[in-house]
Amino acid sequence: EVELTVRDHGIGWDTNLVTTDGGIATRIIAPIERVGGRVEVQSSPGRGTLMAIVVPQEDQRSFPAV
């Protein structure tokens, strides 16, 4: 597996408000899931965001353009 963790100390956001028709779901989560990976997001207003992305290493396909 290849793991990438991104953290910021910005304003954060309510993860319950994520929809499947745009934004993070379309640009990040969907392409990662298409190649067998997974995305975990932890965020809340005023507390920044932590995003962990895990992709199988043996998968040699290219990621779709975002």
pLDDT in tens, 13-34: 888 877 667 777 788 888 999 9
Where residue 65 falls among pLDDT bands split at 50, 70, 90? low
Mean pLDDT value of segment 52-63:
77
- Give the residue, 61 or 2, on which the prediction is more confident: 2
Sign of torsion over alpha carbons 61, 52, 36, 21? negative
- Any idea which residue has 């640009």 for tokens? 27
**Residue 54 vs residue 66, higher pLDDT:** 54
Closest CA to 39 of 22, 54, 60: 54
